[in-house]
Structures are given as C-alpha cells and as structure tokens.
Amino acid sequence: MSDTVVRPVEEAVWHDLETVFSTRGDASGCWCQWFKIPRAQSDQLSRDDFHDRLHDQVRTGTPGVIAWVDGEPAGWSAVEPFSAYPNLARSPITKRLADDPQDPWAVTCFVVRIEFRKQGLARALLAGAVEHARAQGAEVLEGYPVDPEVRPSLSAAERYHGTVSLFRDGGFDVVRRPSATRAVMRRTV
C-alpha cells in the first residue's frame, strides 16, 4: 500500500471521518452506533441522529482510529472498552461468560471506503486499534469476526466485524466459536 497513516480519531479530523462514513452502504446509515444504542431507540433515530451521536463521541473521547492513504481519508475502526457498547452484553455472540475478562477493549467494526478495499487497509486499522488500546491502558483486546472460510458467500457488508484471518494475523487467538461463522478472539496488549 502507499503511504498509510492510522491514528486515533479526534475532533480536528472529524470532516475526514465524515468522508469515510459518507460512502454508500451500511456505514452511511449506522455511523458506528449499532452496538451502542438499544434497537427500540435506534429505530426512532435518523441518519442525522447517528451522525450527531458519533460526532459527540468524538468530541468527548476517542472511539476509534482513522486511516489515510496518501493523505486521503480511507477507513475507520471502532475500538473502546466493552462497557462502551451496551448491545455487546445482550448479544448471544458477545455475551460475557464467567471466565471472560470483565471489561476488555473491543474492536467492533471496520469501515473501508470502496476505492481502498483489498489493499490491506483493515490490517493497518487493526494494528492502529491495538496500539490505541495499549496507549489507553488496555490489557486485553477482543474482536468478534466472521469466518469466510466457513461461509465464503459472506458479503462485504457482513464482514464489517473483520474476519478471523485478519484477527489471527493481528495476534489474536480464537477463544470460542459461538456460531459456525463467528468467533470471539482475544489478545493481550
């Protein structure tokens, strides 16, 4: 890949993040709020509401990392403590088990603009997410990827969690398989 820079998102680069999320597809409707808002509340919100919620999160914290390729905004990955994502605790895929770490950091999604796909940008975003979590004091990091080796027909939209091979290459190990196509993966940082 060309010159790629990944760093924690902040208010100063909000317009670049808007460029990433304004691409067509699921990202333009979600703005990385899927794991943060209960479904009943989510159904009442507009795209503008999702946009504004993420903007508020960027103003008050660092909910993820953004990537540029040759200076052009290209991708995003959400990474925060598990507790920042209330819907993760409700999901049968990500629900905590007795021996799980209490509040690991979680990499929940990737958004890569279409023109930057299949260039290794998700790997750079995952590495940036790991580094960001480490810098914030995280000890454990989790991901909840899909496994296209089990189901090759997974669409690009279904791969927003990342893939098992992506996380494996990033130093994560499978700790359980809650379904045939999903894994909980973990690494210490």
Q: Calculate mean pLDDT across residues 41-70.
A: 87
- Kindly report, residue by residue over 119-151, the tens digit of the pLDDT: 999 999 999 999 999 999 999 999 999 999 998
Q: pLDDT class for 25, splitting at 50, 70, 90?
A: low
Q: Calculate mean pLDDT across residues 68-97.
A: 95
Give the domain extent around 37.
4-188
pTM for this model (two decimals): 0.93
Q: pLDDT class for 188, splitting at 50, 70, 90?
A: very high
Residue 156: per-residue pLDDT? 75
Q: Which two tokens stand for residue 109?
A: 């999604």
Residue 144: per-residue pLDDT? 97
Residue 24: per-residue pLDDT? 67
Tell me which of 137 and 40 has the higher pLDDT: 137
Q: Is the pLDDT of residue 1 over 60?
A: no
Q: pLDDT class for 36, splitting at 50, 70, 90?
A: confident
Q: Calculate mean pLDDT across residues 6-14.
A: 96
Distance, CA of 72 to CA of 121 (rounded, Å): 13
Residue 68: per-residue pLDDT? 98
Tell me which of 175 and 47 has the higher pLDDT: 175
Nearest Cα residue to 76 out of 124, 52, 110, 121: 110
Number of domains observed in the structure of the chain: 1
Continuous segment of H or E residues that includes residue 188: strand 182-188
Q: pLDDT class for 27, splitting at 50, 70, 90?
A: low
Q: Is the pLDDT of residue 38 over 90?
A: no
Tell me which of 134 and 33 has the higher pLDDT: 134
On average, the pLDDT of the chain sits at 91
Q: Give whole-number Cα distances, 160 to 12, 61, 64, 102, 110, in Å.
A: 25, 22, 14, 24, 5
CATH of the domain at 98: 3.40.630.30
Q: Is the pLDDT of residue 102 over 70?
A: yes
